[in-house]
């Protein structure tokens, strides 16, 4: 009979679910949301010292605060020495009451020493792992990642949010590399390990992100400072804003310009023994500050524009030269440009590109336009 | 409701147990009035509400026409009996010379000339007579005649036409169906003055003998659906039909389903609209709830007001209803799936605050949700049963006090309280109550599935639901029509409601004989002909 | 009573083919295409679509010649009964195999992206039970389900992929046409395997209301499938890059992992995407399961195909549980792909040619 069949099926499925179900169920209050992962070189052997920070949920919420005694940090941080990140997470289960959970991880910090040894481990971990948020940030710490994680920030409840949200400010400075884990994975694969990462410098009370870490062949080879990074960002077309300051002859007080808009074009001018590239950024800027007595008229604007162009040319060339001569690593996309747009020429250079790149000739031709002059003439 | 009591107390006699509900016509009346009354009393023995009034017609001195009037106390209109029967026969008849008329002539005289009641019938057997009396008619037995008269004096205490309780609208007619079959049919007929509106009455219920009417518009409704409805109705063999719910459950296609395969309404305008779309109405005596068949999932989400309001308002409200239905089914299960299985999907801040509120709650999220949902069901049930003011008190006490206390005590998290409240509210945003209750059940099933396998469980539930829905039919019409093929004409009046002038065709699901609903009748702004009128 | 003849209209036939074709390929096709052709991956998919369309038209030609006969009966008519039976069994095994492989691939993805600890068997059994229940009701309800579910996966999947374009780099598709032609062809062949699905119509041909429209069905459905897959491949490649796409097992999932709902309602959508993808897999499994049951029913001339619905159930389950790990699953997928070259192209061409020859010869003689 139909009724009996249905009852039977119902009972059977309930039984199946009751006996077998809920393999993956871990309630939200049984998890630790890891915010940061810090990776340092351990003192012993070739091992890594991996550090996780996570919020203590009970202390964060207003109500919980009353019961939780108020005092103490809202952030817990644990570290362990292990062969790999995954192994470290596993080791933690001996010490923690809840499961470590990476889906809300925002920041991965790699210590300087660890980065010099190579970041293949991190890359591999990230590519196999399906938990970590691909929109998180990855950067190299000048010094030890540990120190950066020790900083007690007062601004945000979450340490990871504090670091990750600094990146939101790239609209205003453009002096670090705006890169997510996703972009990092993409470029690390397509360039076979040559990539620029942001540099994080830990302070006493806060951290500062600026400049870039140059990674060549999965290994950290050196740093770019803030201005060089700005130059590189100009080439990559990744500048969204930021100030440029320069003095005009005969003035004490500098002129400050704020970049509104920029687009960069790269083109191949000549393909001799060494190719010659022309980089032409188009910049629109506002005047933010001038010397008090400066009169701004047509001629003045012309000369300001000229100086601005000169300044940008200098910045770019400085950054490019450093990458060419000091690090000899093509993270500027010259090779990529040839591969994509001039595949025939690329065939010619491809074999020996690593040796050709340092001698690539670069000309910069900036065109600047001043649009806004503020509220004063 | 005297009639049911009467029938309930009745001793079994042969005439009332015919399968086809027609009373036994073989027992003929006698010529002698005393004999007839004896038999009658046998039939209705121990029925204390029976009234038998014997009298002599006209001037008692001159005539010897004995008569008896039989009816049931409470089922007849007393005024009618006094004024139109008793007065006519006893007083007014005195002016008529009756001495010479006997037999058929006499009967004819009474029928044509004396009785002033509006409707009367002649019968020659007890079966019809007894049944008529039980239905509220008055029987008139005349001495020396083997025929009796059935006078329509139905007039029991009944509720007037009032505003329906369950389907209130802001704009629209205020009348609602009542418990009286004829009134209900009349309410529909008043809206559709068309000889093609057909009413076929079937009697169902061995004891209750309830009138069940099948209404349809010939030329619109698909004959095969009408036939199917009548066929299924005629198959029903049950002791009693007290509400249209009995009919619904006896003739529906699939009794396992959570989904009603009939629409039901208390509103004559909805019923009339359904008829115009090619549906069949089933009106059942003694209940104001009228059934509409066939039905589809989408029509259960439609309300009559959708067609009275302007189209974008109606469309928005419909969209809202569908969204509410989705919330009603899936909100708790989604929450459980995200909190217990995929917390990565929640924004970090939200995840942390949910985690913080869950801190210290002793139960798992599933159990927490189950506790809240069950207590809410109990509250709802208690609120309905209690009289108005107390019901509200229950709502306030239950909702506010207990909820707040439960949160304070740390048994449930405040987010869960919010969630379940929203879920419950949205489940009742669906206009049809039986669907809403079905959704409540589905919510539980989805919750269990989500707690077993997270979002995959929810998706399994969704797939199972759609598999069930695509195989479900209501009177041969796919339950999900018209979303069964890539044809877009039906979508105009489905999730949104297109402007009325563009709904030129009747919905497909009823497979109407005549598809055209309207011709292009809008006044064109630049039309040549119309402009001349102004000039 | 009214729409109970269990036959499908032209639109429904299109829905059937689209749903049968779009399946596991959504997640893996970008990798397959990129591995063989790099930046020319989209050309490879288009070419694959063309090849598939050719096969589909051949199948359409056969369907037109069936004239109410079942496919197996038609083969028997052309080649004689023994050959017909053998080919019928081959097709039956093929359909069963595809259903099993698709199920297994689905279970692997579920385990990787949604529920790590849940055993594979759970996924396979639950979906298989549902499809067994659905196909018992016949062709029309199954296709109806495909139609009903179509917007539920199609719109979200397109929306998600469009969302992922926020930092797309279309220059990833450069250089244009630098891949040697033989590689293009090879890539087209291997990506074509994700595009087949039209062969299920062979067995359901009796349920077609308008057989004369079969070419239209084939062209439109292959057009939809090819366009959809090209869109998937292009969006995945421009947002992930060539190099990473070719190294990721399910690149589409990696792309979905990086998007968030605008307005920060949901942090990430991979679990949701996988859940929606279940629908796609479900319809594919149903289509092949149904085709397999029908084929075996025709081979054995059984009266009710429901018998084979039950008989095939354990076999599909066992076949799905056979591979040891994801690499073996990939091998099985490859094998099933090669198998489909046989069943979707070689055999139909032979059958069509033989059928035409027989008609001509028969008429003269």
| B38 CA to centre of own chain | 41
Query: B219 and B111: one domain?
Result: no
| A161 CA to centre of own chain | 14
* Backbone phi and psi for residue A194, each to the nearest 5 degrees, phi listed first: -105, 115
Which residues in chain A are classed under CATH 3.30.300.210? 227-377
Candidates B453, B458, B475; nearest CB to C115? B453
Query: B283 and B320: one domain?
Result: no
C170 by Cβ neighbours in 10 Å (0-12 / 13-18 / 19+) ranks as exposed
Judged by a CB distance cut-off of 8 A, whether residue A105 touches chain C is no
Query: B144 and B216: one domain?
Result: no
- Beta strand pairing status for A361-364 and A275-289? parallel
User: What ipTM was assigned to the predicted interfaces of this complex?
Assistant: 0.91
Q: What is the pLDDT of residue B521?
A: 66
Q: How many beta carbons lie within 10 A of that of residue B102, not counting itself? A: 12
Domain assignments of chain C as residue spans, ordered by start: 10-364
From B360, which residue of chain A is nearest by alpha-carbon distance? A29
- Residues A183, C240: C-beta atoms closer than 8 Å: no
Instruction: Collect all residues with Cβ–Cβ distance below 8 Å to A102 and sequence separation of at least 6.
Output: A34, A37, A89, A129, A131, A132, A133
- Please check whether residue C309 is in contact with residue C51, taking contact to mean a CB–CB distance below 8 angstroms: no
| Residues from chain C contacting residue B480 (CB–CB below 8 Å) | 144, 148
Query: B331 and B445: one domain?
Result: yes
* Backbone phi and psi for residue A303, each to the nearest 5 degrees, phi listed first: -70, -35
Query: B266 and B342: one domain?
Result: no
Query: B84 and B197: one domain?
Result: no
Judged by a CB distance cut-off of 8 A, whether residue A127 touches chain C is yes
| Residues from chain B contacting residue A158 (CB–CB below 8 Å) | 348, 352
- Residues A340, C119: C-beta atoms closer than 8 Å: no
Judged by a CB distance cut-off of 8 A, whether residue A345 touches chain C is no
Q: How many beta carbons lie within 10 A of that of residue B381, not counting itself? A: 11
Which of C271, C277, C279, C286 should be substituted to probe chain B, the one whose Cβ sees the most B Cβ atoms within 10 Å? C271
From C168, which residue of chain A is nearest by alpha-carbon distance? A183
- Please check whether residue B292 is in contact with residue B262, taking contact to mean a CB–CB distance below 8 angstroms: yes
Closest CA to C38 of C171, C173, C168: C173
Q: Round to whole Å and give the CA distance between C203 and A377.
A: 82
User: How many CB pairs (< 8 A) connect A and B?
Assistant: 77
User: How many CB pairs (< 8 A) connect A and C?
Assistant: 56
Q: How many beta carbons lie within 10 A of that of residue B489, not counting itself? A: 11
- Beta strand pairing status for A275-289 and A243-246? unpaired
Q: How many beta carbons lie within 10 A of that of residue A6, not counting itself? A: 11
Q: What is the pLDDT of residue C234?
A: 93
The last residue of a domain, from among B295, B329, B362: B295
Mean pLDDT confidence for C57-85: 87
- Residues C275, B456: C-beta atoms closer than 8 Å: yes
- Residues C266, B511: C-beta atoms closer than 8 Å: no
Judged by a CB distance cut-off of 8 A, whether residue B478 touches chain C is yes
- Please check whether residue C64 is in contact with residue C212, taking contact to mean a CB–CB distance below 8 angstroms: yes
Closest CA to A75 of A45, A49, A55, A60: A55
* Full residue range of the structural domain in which residue B463 is found: 310-471
Report whether the peptide linkage leading into residue C145 is cis, meaning its omega lies within 30 degrees of zero. no
Q: Round to whole Å and give the CA distance between C311 and C306.
A: 9
| Residues from chain C contacting residue B495 (CB–CB below 8 Å) | none
Q: How many beta carbons lie within 10 A of that of residue A261, not counting itself? A: 13
Residue-wise over C56-77: b if at least 16 C-beta within 10 A, else e?
bbbbbbbbebbeeebbbbbbbe
Residues of C with CB under 8 A from a CB of B: 1-4, 9, 11-12, 14-15, 110, 114-115, 118, 122-123, 126-127, 130, 133-134, 137, 141, 144-145, 147-149, 264-272, 274-276, 278-279, 282
What does the longest C-alpha to C-alpha distance in chain A come to? 102
Q: Where is B248: in which H helix or E strand? A: helix B244-251
| Helix C25-37 × helix C181-195 angle, to 10° | 170
Q: Round to whole Å and give the CA distance between B217 and B195.
A: 9
Residue B294 exposure: Cα atoms within 13 Å on the Cβ side: 31
Low-confidence ranges of chain B (pLDDT < 50): 1-20, 527-535
DSSP B257: -
Q: Round to whole Å and give the CA distance between A184 and A355.
A: 24
Query: B190 and B41: one domain?
Result: no
Q: Is domain A227-377 given the CATH code 3.40.50.1980 in the classification?
A: no
Candidates C133, C144, C267; nearest CB to B478? C144
Closest CA to C19 of C35, C3, C8: C8
Residue-wise over A56-78: b if at least 16 C-beta within 10 A, else e?
bbbbbbeebeeebeeeeebbebb
Q: What is the pLDDT of residue B17?
A: 43
Query: B272 and B341: one domain?
Result: no
Give the minimum alpha-carbon distance from C306 to chain B in angstroms, rounded to a whole number.
15
Residue C217 exposure: Cα atoms within 13 Å on the Cβ side: 32
Q: Round to whole Å and give the CA distance between A257 and A286.
A: 6
From A58, which residue of chain B is nearest by alpha-carbon distance? B356
For residue B151, the SS3 value is: strand
Query: B43 and B66: one domain?
Result: yes
Instruction: Collect all residues with Cβ–Cβ distance below 8 Å to B355 and sequence separation of at least 6.
Output: A28, A29, A31, A33, A57, B343
Q: Locate B419 and state its tokens.
A: 């969630």
| Residues from chain B contacting residue A64 (CB–CB below 8 Å) | 356, 359
- Residues C117, A23: C-beta atoms closer than 8 Å: yes
Q: Round to whole Å and give the CA distance between A316 and C267.
A: 37
Q: What is the pLDDT of residue B138?
A: 92
Q: In the predicted model, is pLDDT for residue C2 greater than 60?
A: no
Q: Round to whole Å and give the CA distance between C322 and C118.
A: 18
Instruction: Collect all residues with Cβ–Cβ distance below 8 Å to A226 and sequence separation of at least 6.
Output: A175, A176, A210, A211
Q: Round to whole Å and give the CA distance between C43 and C64.
A: 31
Closest CA to C242 of A135, A177, A126, A339: A339
Alpha helices, DSSP H, located in chain A: 2-20, 57-60, 62-67, 85-92, 112-117, 120-128, 145-150, 159-166, 170-173, 181-190, 226-236, 298-321, 334-341, 343-350, 353-356
DSSP A191: T
Judged by a CB distance cut-off of 8 A, whether residue B453 touches chain C is yes
| Residues from chain B contacting residue A161 (CB–CB below 8 Å) | 348
Q: Locate C254 and state its tokens.
A: 């990696």
Interface of C with A in 204-243 (CB under 8 A): 240-243
Q: What is the pLDDT of residue A287?
A: 86
Q: Where is A270: in which H helix or E strand? A: strand A255-271
- Residues A158, B343: C-beta atoms closer than 8 Å: no
Q: What is the pLDDT of residue B1?
A: 40
- Residues C244, A189: C-beta atoms closer than 8 Å: yes
Domain count for chain B, please give it. Answer: 3
CA distances from A18 to A96, B218, C26, C128 (A): 29, 55, 34, 20
For every one of its 377 residues, what pLDDT tens digit does chain A have, with 9 covering 90 and above?
567 777 777 777 776 666 555 677 888 888 888 888 999 988 877 788 999 988 888 777 654 444 444 456 778 888 889 888 888 888 888 888 888 888 888 899 999 988 988 888 888 888 888 888 888 899 999 988 888 888 877 777 778 888 888 887 777 778 888 888 888 988 888 888 888 998 998 888 888 888 889 998 898 998 988 888 888 888 888 888 888 888 877 777 888 888 888 888 888 888 888 888 898 989 888 888 887 777 778 888 888 888 888 888 888 888 888 888 888 888 888 888 888 888 888 888 888 888 888 888 888 888 888 888 777 76
DSSP characters for B311-336? HHHHHHHHHHHHHHHHHHHHHHHHHH
Closest CA to A47 of A79, A80, A81: A81
- Residues C11, B342: C-beta atoms closer than 8 Å: no
A155 by Cβ neighbours in 10 Å (0-12 / 13-18 / 19+) ranks as exposed
Q: What is the pLDDT of residue B465?
A: 92
CA distances from B317 to A327, B307, B396, B430, B527 (A): 64, 11, 28, 11, 34
Give the minimum alpha-carbon distance from C200 to chain B in angstroms, rounded to a whole number.
19
Q: Round to whole Å and give the CA distance between A305 and A297.
A: 12
Judged by a CB distance cut-off of 8 A, whether residue C123 touches chain A is no
The last residue of a domain, from among B240, B264, B295: B295
Superfamily holding C10-364: Amino acid/polyamine transporter I (1.20.1740.10)
Q: Round to whole Å and give the CA distance between B51 and B2.
A: 13
B112 by Cβ neighbours in 10 Å (0-12 / 13-18 / 19+) ranks as exposed
Closest CA to A210 of A131, A290, A140: A140
Where are any strands of DSSP class E within chain C? none
Q: What is the pLDDT of residue C4?
A: 58
Query: B281 and B332: one domain?
Result: no
N-to-C CA span, chain C: 46
């Amino acid at each position: 009979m139909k009724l009996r069949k249905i009852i039977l099926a119902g009972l059977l499925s309930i039984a199946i679910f009751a006996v077998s179900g809920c393999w993956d169920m871990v309630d939200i209050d049984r998890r630790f949301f890891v915010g940061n992962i810090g990776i340092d070189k351990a003192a012993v052997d070739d091992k890594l010292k991996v550090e996780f920070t996570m919020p203590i949920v009970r202390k964060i919420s207003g109500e919980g605060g009353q019961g939780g005694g108020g005092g103490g940090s809202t952030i817990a941080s644990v570290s362990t020495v292990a062969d790999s990140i995954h192994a470290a997470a596993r080791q933690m289960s001996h010490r923690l009451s809840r499961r470590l959970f990476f889906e809300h991880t925002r920041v991965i910090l790699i210590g300087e020493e660890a980065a010099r040894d190579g970041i293949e481990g991190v890359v591999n971990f990230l590519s196999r792992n399906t938990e970590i948020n691909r929109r998180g940030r990855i950067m190299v710490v000048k010094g030890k990642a540990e120190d950066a994680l020790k900083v007690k920030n007062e601004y945000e409840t979450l340490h990871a949010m504090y670091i990750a949200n600094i990146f939101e400010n790239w609209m205003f400075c453009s002096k670090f590399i705006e890169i997510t884990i996703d972009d990092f994975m993409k470029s690390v694969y397509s360039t076979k390990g040559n990539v620029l990462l942001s540099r994080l410098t830990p302070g006493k009370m806060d951290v500062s992100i600026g400049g870039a870490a140059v990674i060549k062949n999965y290994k950290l080879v050196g740093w770019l400072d803030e201005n060089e990074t700005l130059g590189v960002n100009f080439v990559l077309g990744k500048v969204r804003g930021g100030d440029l300051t320069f003095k005009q002859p005969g003035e004490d007080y500098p002129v400050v310009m704020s970049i509104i808009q920029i687009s960069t074009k790269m083109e191949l001018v000549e393909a001799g023994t060494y190719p010659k590239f022309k980089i032409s950024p188009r910049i629109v800027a506002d005047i933010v500050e001038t010397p008090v007595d400066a009169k701004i008229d047509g001629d003045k604007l012309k000369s300001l524009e000229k100086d601005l162009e000169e300044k940008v040319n200098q910045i770019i060339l400085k950054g490019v030269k450093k990458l060419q001569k000091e690090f000899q690593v093509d993270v500027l996309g010259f090779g990529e440009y040839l591969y994509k747009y001039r595949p025939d020429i690329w065939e010619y250079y491809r074999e020996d590109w690593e040796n050709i790149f340092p001698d690539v000739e670069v000309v910069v031709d900036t065109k600047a336009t001043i649009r806004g002059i503020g509220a004063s003439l | 409701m005297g009639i049911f009591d009467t029938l309930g107390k009745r001793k079994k006699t042969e005439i009332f147990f015919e399968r086809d509900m027609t009373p036994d016509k073989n027992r003929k009346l006698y010529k002698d009035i005393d004999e007839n009354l004896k038999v009658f009393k046998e039939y209705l023995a121990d029925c204390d509400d029976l009234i038998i009034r014997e009298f002599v017609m006209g001037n008692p001195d001159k005539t010897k026409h004995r008569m008896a009037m039989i009816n049931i106390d409470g089922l007849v209109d007393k005024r009618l009996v006094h004024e139109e029967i008793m007065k006519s026969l006893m007083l007014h008849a005195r002016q008529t010379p009756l001495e010479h008329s006997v037999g058929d002539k006499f009967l004819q005289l009474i029928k044509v000339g004396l009785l002033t009641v509006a409707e009367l019938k002649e019968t020659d057997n007890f079966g019809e007579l007894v049944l008529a009396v039980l239905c509220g008619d008055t029987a008139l037995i005349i001495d020396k005649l083997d025929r009796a008269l059935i006078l329509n004096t139905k007039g029991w205490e009944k509720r007037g036409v009032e505003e329906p309780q369950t389907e209130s609208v802001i704009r629209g007619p205020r009348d609602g169906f009542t418990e009286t079959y004829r009134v209900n049919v009349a309410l529909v007929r008043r809206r559709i003055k068309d000889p093609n509106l057909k009413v076929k009455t079937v009697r169902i219920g061995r004891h209750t003998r309830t009138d069940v009417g099948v209404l349809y518009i010939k030329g619109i409704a698909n004959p095969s659906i009408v036939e199917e409805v009548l066929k299924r109705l005629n198959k029903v063999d049950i002791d009693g039909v007290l509400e249209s719910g009995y009919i619904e459950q006896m003739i529906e296609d699939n009794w396992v389903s959570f989904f009603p395969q009939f629409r039901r309404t208390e509103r004559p305008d909805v019923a009339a609209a359904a008829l115009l779309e090619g549906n069949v109405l089933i009106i059942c005596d003694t209940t104001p709830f009228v059934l509409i068949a066939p039905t589809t999932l989408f029509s259960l989400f439609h309300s009559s007001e959708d067609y009275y309001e302007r189209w974008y308002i109606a469309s928005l409200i419909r969209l809202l209803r569908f969204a509410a239905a989705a919330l009603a089914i899936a909100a708790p299960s989604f929450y459980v799936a995200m909190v217990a299985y995929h917390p990565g999907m929640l924004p970090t801040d939200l995840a942390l605050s949910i985690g913080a509120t869950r801190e210290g709650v002793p139960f798992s999220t599933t159990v927490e949700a189950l506790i809240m949902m069950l207590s809410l069901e109990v509250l709802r049930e208690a609120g309905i049963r209690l009289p108005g003011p107390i019901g509200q008190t229950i709502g306030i006490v239950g909702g506010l006090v207990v909820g707040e206390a439960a949160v304070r005590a740390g048994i449930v998290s405040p987010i869960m309280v919010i969630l379940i409240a929203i879920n419950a509210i949205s489940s009742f945003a669906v206009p049809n109550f039986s669907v809403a209750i079905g959704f409540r059940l589905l919510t539980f099933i989805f919750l269990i599935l989500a707690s077993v396998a997270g979002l995959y469980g929810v998706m399994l539930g969704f797939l199972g639901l759609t598999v069930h829905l695509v195989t479900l039919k209501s009177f041969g019409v796919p339950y999900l029509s018209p979303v069964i093929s890539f044809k877009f004409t039906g979508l105009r009046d489905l999730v949104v409601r297109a402007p009325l002038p563009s709904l030129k065709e009747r919905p497909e699901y009823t497979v109407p004989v005549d598809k055209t609903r309207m011709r292009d009748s809008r006044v064109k702004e630049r039309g040549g002909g119309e402009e001349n009128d102004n000039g | 009573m009214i729409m109970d003849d269990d036959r499908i209209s032209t639109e429904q036939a299109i829905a059937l083919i689209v749903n049968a074709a779009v399946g596991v390929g959504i997640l893996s096709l970008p990798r397959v295409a990129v591995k063989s052709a790099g930046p020319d991956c989209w050309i490879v998919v288009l070419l694959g679509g063309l090849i598939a369309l050719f096969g589909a038209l051949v199948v359409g030609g056969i369907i037109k010649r069936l004239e109410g006969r079942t496919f197996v009966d038609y083969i028997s008519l052309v080649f004689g009964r023994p050959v017909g039976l053998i080919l019928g069994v081959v097709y039956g095994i093929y359909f069963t195999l595809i259903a099993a492989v698709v199920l297994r691939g689905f279970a692997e993805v579920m385990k990787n992206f949604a529920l790590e600890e849940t055993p594979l068997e759970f996924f396979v059994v639950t979906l298989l039970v549902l499809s067994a229940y659905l196909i018992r009701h016949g062709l029309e309800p199954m296709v109806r389900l495909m139609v009903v579910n179509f917007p539920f996966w199609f719109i979200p999947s397109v929306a998600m992929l469009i969302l992922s374009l926020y930092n797309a780099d279309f220059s990833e598709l450069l250089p244009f046409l630098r891949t040697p032609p033989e590689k293009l062809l090879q890539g087209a062949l291997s990506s074509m395997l994700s595009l087949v699905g039209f062969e299920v119509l062979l067995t359901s041909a009796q349920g077609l209301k308008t057989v004369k429209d079969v070419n239209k069905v084939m062209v439109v459905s292959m057009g939809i499938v090819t366009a959809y897959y090209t869109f998937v491949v292009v969006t995945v490649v421009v947002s992930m890059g060539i190099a990473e796409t070719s190294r990721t097992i399910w690149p589409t999932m990696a792309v979905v992992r990086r998007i968030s709902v605008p307005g920060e309602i949901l942090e990430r959508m991979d679990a949701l995407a996988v859940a929606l993808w279940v629908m796609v897999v479900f319809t594919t499994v149903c289509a092949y399961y149904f085709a397999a049951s029908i084929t075996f029913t025709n081979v054995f001339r059984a009266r009710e195909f429901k018998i084979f619905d039950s008989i095939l159930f354990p076999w599909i389950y066992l076949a799905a549980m056979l591979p040891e790990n994801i690499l073996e699953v990939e091998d099985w997928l490859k094998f099933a792909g090669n198998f489909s070259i046989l069943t979707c192209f070689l055999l139909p061409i032979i059958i069509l040619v033989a059928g035409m020859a027989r008609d001509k010869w028969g008429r003269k003689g």
